[in-house]
Amino acid sequence: MDVTIVDYKSGNISSVINSFKEVAKDKVNIEVTSDLNKIKSSDKVVLPGQGSFKSCIDGLNSINGLIDTLSEFTLYTKKPLLGICVGLQMFADVGYEEVETKGLGWISGKVSKIDNQNGKYKLPHIGWNQINIVKESKIFKDIENNSHMYFVHSYEFIPNDNSVTAATTDYSSNIVCAIEKENIFGTQFHPEKSDKTGLKIIDNFINL
């Protein structure tokens, strides 16, 4: 089986690569590339994202045909895709970080700044926080509710349809921190930085 981690120069993704390789061992081929043909032929795709919504969308747009290839993989061939952090946020129709930026439009919704209640909550939201699993999700197989995951973000994904929400975390409000819609999965937290529990989520995705 081939799992492709999309490399579109969105910051340092070495911890994502290392954790996937650690979980995959020799059973699964992990490829890190932006080659369109390799993405098309892979069994699963991981879309990491570090930095701002705009910088990540710009990064995808800088590689000719990449967004179309990812959309085809996700929406038409319906193979599993996992978005991490801004990788999840880009599923939305629009993001409001820096400037209003059009998202991938795979899951209807928007990405807005977390309401820090006039400074009561520090932004970015950094560190370990509990997650509340709100629906049975394939990537949460054998994960206990209220497990702690590692977060680094100032913006949140607000879906139009709450049925796609797989988990939330409490920080100023109930923030969506995991998505599952058919073959599309996403985590706002960083599974690659979330110790053994995070590795289990990666394992669950690889074994879908």
Catalytic residue, from 97, 156, 180, 192: name it: 192
Catalytic residue, from 56, 85, 156, 177: name it: 85
Is residue 177 part of the annotated active site? The answer reads no
CA distance 6 to 38: 10
Is residue 192 part of the annotated active site? The answer reads yes
CA distance 1 to 149: 27
Is residue 56 part of the annotated active site? The answer reads no
Q: Who contacts 130 (Cβ-Cβ below 8 Å, separation ≥6)?
A: 146, 147, 148, 149, 169, 170
Strand partners, 148: 130
Catalytic residue, from 97, 156, 177, 190: name it: 190
Strand partners, 99: none
180 near 164, Cβ under 8 Å? Answer: yes
- Residues annotated as part of the active site: 85, 190, 192
